[in-house]
Amino acid sequence: MLAVTALTGPLLGAAPPVTSTGWAASGSVDVTIDNEHIVTGELAKCTADGPYNGWSQGGATGDIAVFGAGESGCGRSGDAAIAQASGRRFRATVLQRYGGPELTVRTFTAKCATTDIGSGGEVTVGAVEGVTVPSQIPPNHRIVIPGGAAGTALATVTLNETVTPQPPDGSLVTHAVHIKLFPQGGPASGDIYLGTAACDPFGKK
């Protein structure tokens, strides 16, 4: 007698269900200075699949940056993923060793949410010092901090940054503030992010 085994699960050829994803973090540092690699990972990180909330009391990363308290919240509303993060009292001190300014940001937030076919995001940035910031910050507003060798930049500061893949796939990443060290090369390299939120309606992590 032949044994018959019952199989459960999706039918062959059936597309898996689409689950939107999202995550957020209050900030991160990933830089290399004098051949030393300094990485904090994402601070106060949450995801739409849990953990749903993140919190960080902040602290100093050597003489590179000082983070104040940060928090995040993620989840879903129906099929839509939602992610947001905020922080306060940030100081970037790393540029002072190269004769540059101290950068401070009093408050910042980043948010995103998915739709059926895409994602939308928004950021807020309050009381920035060390660079000149317009009263209304346009998308991807980039500020060059001069002072590197042979006329190169010590850093670039991008406010209200949105990153989307090419070709577009419905996902996006928003950063309230993105500091890039020596973008044309120099004694340091890497990135500091304040307020990051990432969303994808089709389930990419």
| Backbone Cα Rg of the chain | 20
The pLDDT value recorded for residue 85 is: 98
DSSP class of residue 15? P
More confident: 28 or 3: 28
Average pLDDT over residues 45-69: 96
Average pLDDT over residues 48-64: 95
Neighbours of 68 (CB within 10 A): 18
pLDDT at 1 over 60: no
pLDDT at 48 over 80: yes
pTM, to two decimals: 0.89
Q: Decide if 22 contacts 172 (C-beta within 8 A).
A: no
Strand segments, DSSP code E, in the chain are 21-33, 36-39, 46-47, 53-56, 59-61, 65-67, 70-77, 80-92, 103-114, 119-129, 141-146, 153-163, 172-181, 188-200
Q: What is the largest CA-CA distance in the chain?
A: 85
More confident: 137 or 196: 196
Nearest CA to 30 among 141, 172, 199, 196?
A: 196
Q: Decide if 21 contacts 205 (C-beta within 8 A).
A: yes
pLDDT > 90 fraction of the chain, expressed in percent and rounded: 82
The pLDDT value recorded for residue 179 is: 98
Nearest CA to 203 among 21, 50, 16?
A: 21
- What's the CA gap between 30 and 54, in Å, rounded? 20
- What's the CA gap between 156 and 145, in Å, rounded? 6
Average pLDDT over residues 66-70: 97
Average pLDDT over residues 181-185: 96
Q: Decide if 171 contacts 200 (C-beta within 8 A).
A: yes
